[in-house]
Amino acid sequence: MSSNLHRYERIAPFYDLLDLPFEYSRYRKIRPLLFEGLAGRILDVGVGTGRNIQFYPPGAEVVGVDLSPAMLARAERRRRSLGAEVELRQMDVTHLEFADQYFDAAVATFLFCVLPDDLQVPALREIGRVVKSGGTIRILEYVRPRGAMRRAVTRAWEPWVAWAYGAGFDRRTEERVPEAGLEVVESRLVVDDLIKLISIRTMK
């Protein structure tokens, strides 16, 4: 995880600017899908610069965690500007400092496409540990597109995406959910054949 930490410490001042075209053409339309029907205590894993904050359900008690202090500093500025009630903490997704079944639900936005293959199951298992039995985990994730043209475009972008974000299109997070002791409830594409919303249920 140290390489990702250094990467996001470096890119944090420019992250929102780099993401701006995608934020307004794609992400803002689908972020609310993460929180549909969620309430109570919610964990936002990989909170980044806090782009989800304005979409948190009214009255929810949200804790946002991220590995990078620099990203969290930007999230804190966004939290203050929005006047939002959210606790922000530095934390590794594979070692969450919360009691078992502490949260009613959890969300992760483009986190798992950044995690290397060997951390996929540990991260899923750890998020599942801190969410209540029968609770919901929702993940927004990039996937490898099926169409020839878009596949070619993603192949061309991959070196930059890997260098800047440490991300890839072939993480196969959904396939690893059962290994983590969790259950996929729904999986659907929400932006062409490029971004998928995965809804997971904890089983304890």
pTM given for the model: 0.92
Is residue 161 pLDDT above 90, yes or no?
no
Please give the DSSP secondary-structure letter assigned to residue 25.
I
177: Cα within 13 Å, side-chain hemisphere: 20
Region at 83 (left for phi over 0; alpha for psi -120 to 50; beta for the rest): left
**Residue 5 dihedral angles phi and psi, to the nearest 5°:** -60, -50
| pLDDT averaged over every residue in the chain | 91
Residue among 135, 155, 136 at smallest CA distance from 144: 155
Is residue 204 pLDDT above 80, yes or no?
no
Domain count, the chain: 1
Measure the CA–CA gap between 10 and 90, rounded to whole angstroms.
Answer: 16
Long-range contacts of 32-36 (CB under 8 A, 24+ apart): 33/138, 33/140, 33/190, 33/197, 34/107, 34/109, 34/138, 34/140, 34/197, 35/60, 35/107, 35/138
Is residue 150 pLDDT above 70, yes or no?
no
Is residue 164 pLDDT above 70, yes or no?
no
H/E stretch holding 3:
helix 2-22
**Residue 182 or 153, more confident:** 182
Is residue 1 pLDDT above 60, yes or no?
no
**DSSP H helical segments within 23-109, as ranges?**
28-35, 69-82
Least confident range from 18-32, 44-58, 117-131: namely 18-32
Residue 166 is part of a domain; what is its CATH number? 3.40.50.150
